[in-house]
Amino acid sequence: MKRLLRRSKRNNVNPSFDRSMETHALSKRMNNFQSVLSSRWQALSGRDQLALLILSTFLLLFVGGYGGYSIHQAANDSKSDYQEEVADYFWLRAQAGNIDSNAMQTSTSDGELPPANNVSTVLNSAGITNAQVVAAGDAVQLSFTHGSQAVVGTALGKLEQQGWQFTQLSMQQDPINKSIQVQATVAL
């Protein structure tokens, strides 16, 4: 313990000296490493040096090319996700004038669920979560994205079985992740 205290006192007295010693030791190691590499490089034949240069260049180009490609692909994915979110936002914003605030009440006079809640319940039972469902006058507008075409087809089929008719339907498939984006307006 006393040895550690003496060492810490000595380092506190002149910390710049300690840092310069570490820097000097590091540069000395780097110089030794460079001299070893240089001597080994000189020991190789000209043919081996050329092969090693070509292999190193190929490896550098391959790693750099793959890294650039993966960064480019990630940027494209991010851009398409952003554009999809912006499209959903503007679609919902355009539909804001059609919202009937009375249609979103918890129940109607005869005890049934309001139309928007009814559509939301059907979508949830079909396996579609996070659907945006909005009442628009006598109609209901819905928007969701799902990765399975079978689930989307089942959900739309259930809506038709319950008597909902599609007045507008837009379905787009994302070419990258194959998810299906649905925007629709349904009415009874």
Q: What is the pLDDT of residue 56?
A: 93
Q: What is the pLDDT of residue 107?
A: 46
Looking at the structure, tell me whether residues 67 and 99 fall in a common domain. Answer: no
Looking at the structure, tell me whether residues 106 and 173 fall in a common domain. Answer: yes
Looking at the structure, tell me whether residues 109 and 25 fall in a common domain. Answer: no
> Quick check: 102 pLDDT over 70?
no
Confidence of residue 40 (pLDDT cuts 50, 70, 90): very high
User: Which of 43, 75, 107 lies at the terminal end of a domain, its last residue?
Assistant: 75
Q: What is the pLDDT of residue 51?
A: 94
Looking at the structure, tell me whether residues 11 and 55 fall in a common domain. Answer: yes
Find the distance separating the first CA and the last CA of the chain, reported in whole Å.
84
H/E segment holding residue 143: strand 139-146
Looking at the structure, tell me whether residues 125 and 51 fall in a common domain. Answer: no
Looking at the structure, tell me whether residues 102 and 164 fall in a common domain. Answer: yes
Q: What is the pLDDT of residue 116?
A: 80
Looking at the structure, tell me whether residues 59 and 125 fall in a common domain. Answer: no
Residue 125 inside a domain? The answer is: yes
> Quick check: 100 pLDDT over 50?
yes
How many structural domains is the chain composed of?
2
Supply the CATH number for residue 128's domain. 3.30.70
Looking at the structure, tell me whether residues 8 and 57 fall in a common domain. Answer: yes
Is the pTM higher than 0.95? no
Residue 22 inside a domain? The answer is: yes
Residue 130 inside a domain? The answer is: yes
Q: What is the pLDDT of residue 90?
A: 84
Q: Does residue 153 or residue 103 have the better pLDDT?
A: 153
Of 20-24, 110-114, 151-155, the one with minimum mean pLDDT is: 110-114
- State which residues form the domain around 171: 95-187
Structural tokens at position 22: 């570490």
Looking at the structure, tell me whether residues 107 and 172 fall in a common domain. Answer: yes
Residue 84 inside a domain? The answer is: no
Mean pLDDT confidence for 85-102? 73
Q: Which amino acid is at 19?
A: R
Q: Does residue 114 or residue 83 have the better pLDDT?
A: 83
Q: What is the pLDDT of residue 101?
A: 54
* CA gap 108, 121 in Å, rounded: 16
Mean pLDDT confidence for 42-52? 93
Looking at the structure, tell me whether residues 142 and 181 fall in a common domain. Answer: yes
Residue 103 inside a domain? The answer is: yes
Looking at the structure, tell me whether residues 69 and 107 fall in a common domain. Answer: no
pLDDT in tens, 122-137: 888 888 888 888 887 7
Confidence of residue 171 (pLDDT cuts 50, 70, 90): confident
> Quick check: 32 pLDDT over 80?
yes
- Highest-scoring range by mean pLDDT, 8-12, 126-130, 154-158: 154-158
Looking at the structure, tell me whether residues 182 and 104 fall in a common domain. Answer: yes
Question: Judging by beta carbons within 10 Å of its beta carbon (0-12, 13-18, 19+), is residue 154 exposed, middle or buried?
Answer: middle
